[in-house]
């Protein structure tokens, strides 16, 4: 997963039970995970020059803190470093071109919105628990990437496939009526 922060660019991948957080610049890891700065490994011959392996809960907590601290109305304008801003601008332009190439870009979409429980997220950070959960308000969500309806049933069961592309509305209505 690539993560663009206004002062850091990170790549996060699985590393056995941990997450491996990689960066092009050491200071990106130092800014995001200051308590673990002494554990950063320099890997000059690898695609990412710096790496840090950490427990998932610590990575999630640090990134959630960054989410909770967002106070800007425009991400690109919040990037202070000129060279980082220029790099992010090029990515933005490439993704804008990617967006325009989508033939379904302007079709009407009627899908329920997800709500995030910020109070629970703050409690999660304070307690150092595993992972926060989205409150899907008992409504099915259409996942366009996987072309299935999904819905959060509980913390233990995770996400359930409700239907495939065909017949998605009929099945979703049945599940909603049954109170699932």
pLDDT at 173: 43
Q: Which residue has the tokens 């950490």?
A: 54
pLDDT at 163: 39
C-alpha dihedral sign at 109, 172, 130, 145: negative
Gap between the Cα atoms of 75 and 96, Å rounded: 15
- Which residue ranges make up each domain of the chain? 2-71, 118-177
Q: 159 pairs with which residues across the strands?
A: 152
Q: Does residue 145 contact residue 177 with C-beta atoms inside 8 Å? A: no
* 175 Cβ contact list (under 8 Å, min separation 6): 140, 151, 162
- Give rounded-to-5 percent helix, strand, coil for the chain: 40, 25, 40
pLDDT at 161: 38
* Beta strands 41-42 and 158-163, pairing class: unpaired
Alpha helices in the chain (DSSP H): 26-32, 56-68, 82-100, 118-127, 168-177
pLDDT in tens, the chain (180 residues): 999 999 999 999 999 999 999 999 999 999 999 999 999 999 999 999 999 999 999 999 999 999 999 999 999 999 999 999 999 999 999 998 888 887 776 666 555 555 556 666 666 666 665 444 444 444 444 445 554 444 443 333 334 334 344 444 444 444 444 444
């Amino acid at each position: 997963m690539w993560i663009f922060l206004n002062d850091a660019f990170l790549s996060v991948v699985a590393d056995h039970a941990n997450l491996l957080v990689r960066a092009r610049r050491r200071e990106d890891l130092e800014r995001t995970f200051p308590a673990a700065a002494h554990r950063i490994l320099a890997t000059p011959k690898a695609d990412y020059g710096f790496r840090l392996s950490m427990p998932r809960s610590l990575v999630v907590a640090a990134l959630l803190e960054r989410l909770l601290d967002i106070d800007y109305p425009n991400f690109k304008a919040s990037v202070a470093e000129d060279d980082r801003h220029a790099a992010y601008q090029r990515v933005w332009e490439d993704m804008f071109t990617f967006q325009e190439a989508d033939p379904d870009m302007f079709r009407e979409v009627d899908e329920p919105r997800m709500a995030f429980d910020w109070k629970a997220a703050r409690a999660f950070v304070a307690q150092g628990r595993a992972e926060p959960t989205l409150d899907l308000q008992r409504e099915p969500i259409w996942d366009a990437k996987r072309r299935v309806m999904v819905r959060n049933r509980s913390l233990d069961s995770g996400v359930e496939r409700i239907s495939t592309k065909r017949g998605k509305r009929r099945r979703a209505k049945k599940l909603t009526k049954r109170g699932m």
